[in-house]
Amino acid sequence: MRAGEFEPVRGVEDLYVHDTGMFATDEYGAVYVYDAERPIVIDTGTGANREALFESIEAIGIDRDELAWILPTHAHLDHAGGAGYLAERYPNAEVRVPEEGVRHLVDPEALVAGTKSAVEGQWTYYAEPEPVPEDRIAGVADGDRIDLGDRELIVHDAPGHAPHHAVYHEPEADVVFTADAAGIYVPEVDDVVPTTPPPQFDLEQCLEDLRLIERLDPDTVCFGHFGPRSYESTLIGEAKRAYVEWVEAVRQKRAELDDDNAVVEHFEAASRNVDYWTRERARANTGLNVRGVLTYLDHVDEIPAADVGEE
């Protein structure tokens, strides 16, 4: 699948994945369109390539007055930056986001400033977000249900990546929309890559979020980046190890260098060996993740014990 294209999600009736072409990397940005009785868009991309998303929604067969829900998994702008644009185009759609994210989508000024500071030159791949009108948006919390008419989504809080993050479970098809709660599964290397952005990444809570997905035991996992894949029992164990080992690597390098800027530079240099997205994106993503772990380590005395061998 190429940027701007969409395709059905294998094994899940009426569900489609659209590739936003985020960061000039095919399949990196996944938006899900569920053509249910009350159709829904799950995540929105940055908003930069919104016209292609509108075309995909139309091609799937959803008219402008039919879309019922716009559901970002969290308020980070690579997942929610297009929410205001979608709300403007689809007048009957209601926006729902975990409660902590509502204020950021109604008034995105602080979120934009924080994102620009975090992503630096990568901001060129974003659009300035349109605010979501207050009368079109509400928060969701753990246990809430989103009515799609012929099915429903169940909300599960998953605040390890960010406090405004949730995963959504559709039990009939047994599909879970994990966004960033299970890391980034990269098909090219058949592995999970941690995503640990500042300022609110929390390792302990992230591991608990992974256990939540493990308990749900879905048939299909819809990642926020690089799209869906079939769930296997080893997936969560691999993700746990990846997160713990990543945090430990940053902790050890900080102890060795005793200079946070040098730690960031070390891992950014190592990112030159990453070839499953552009070199620019590899460096930016690595720097962001290192800064997130360093911020986390500032709040803990040592990495908490974790059972990473649990399958």
Q: What is the pLDDT of residues 80-132, one digit of tens each?
A: 999 999 999 999 999 999 999 999 999 999 999 999 988 888 899 999 999 99
* pLDDT bucket at 24, cuts 50 / 70 / 90: confident
| Three-state SS at 81 | coil
The separation between CA 45 and the C-alpha centre of its own chain, rounded to angstroms, equals 9
CB 91 within 8 A of CB 64: yes
What DSSP assignment string belongs to 196-254? --TTT--HHHHHHHHHHHHHH--SEEEESSS-EEE--THHHHHHHHHHHHHHHHHHHHH
Segments making up each domain of the chain, as ranges: 6-239
Alpha carbons 128 and 39: distance in angstroms, whole number: 26
Please give the single-letter amino acid code of residue 25: T
If we measure between CA atoms, which residue out of 4, 41, 39 comes closest to residue 19? 4
The answer, yes or no, to whether residue 304 has pLDDT greater than 70, is no
Provide the b/e sequence for 151-168 (b: ≥16 CB within 10 Å).
bbbbbbbbbbbbbbbbbb
CATH number of the domain located at residue range(s) 6-239 in this protein: 3.60.15.10
- What's the angle, vertex CA 225, arms to CA 120 and CA 302, rounded to 5? 70
| pLDDT for position 311 | 36
The answer, yes or no, to whether residue 305 has pLDDT greater than 90, is no
CA distances from 224 to 26, 133, 158, 195, 234 (A): 13, 25, 14, 11, 19
User: Rounded to 5 degrees, what are φ and ψ at 265?
Assistant: -65, -35
Query: Which residues in the chain belong to E strands, given as ranges?
Result: 6-8, 15-19, 30-34, 40-42, 69-71, 94-98, 137-140, 145-147, 152-157, 166-170, 175-179, 184-186, 191-193, 220-223, 228-230
User: Rounded to 5 degrees, what are φ and ψ at 139?
Assistant: -85, 155
The separation between CA 156 and the C-alpha centre of its own chain, rounded to angstroms, equals 14
CA distances from 271 to 203, 250, 289 (A): 22, 14, 12
State the sign of the Cα–Cα–Cα–Cα dihedral 157, 158, 159, 164: negative
pTM: 0.93
* pLDDT bucket at 308, cuts 50 / 70 / 90: very low
Phi-psi region of 160 (alpha: psi -120 to 50; beta: other; left: phi over 0): alpha
Burial level of 49, CB count in 10 A (0-12/13-18/19+)? buried
56's enclosing H/E stretch is helix 50-60
Mean pLDDT score of the chain: 93
Q: What is the pLDDT of residues 184-221, one digit of tens each?
A: 999 888 889 999 999 999 999 999 999 999 999 999 99
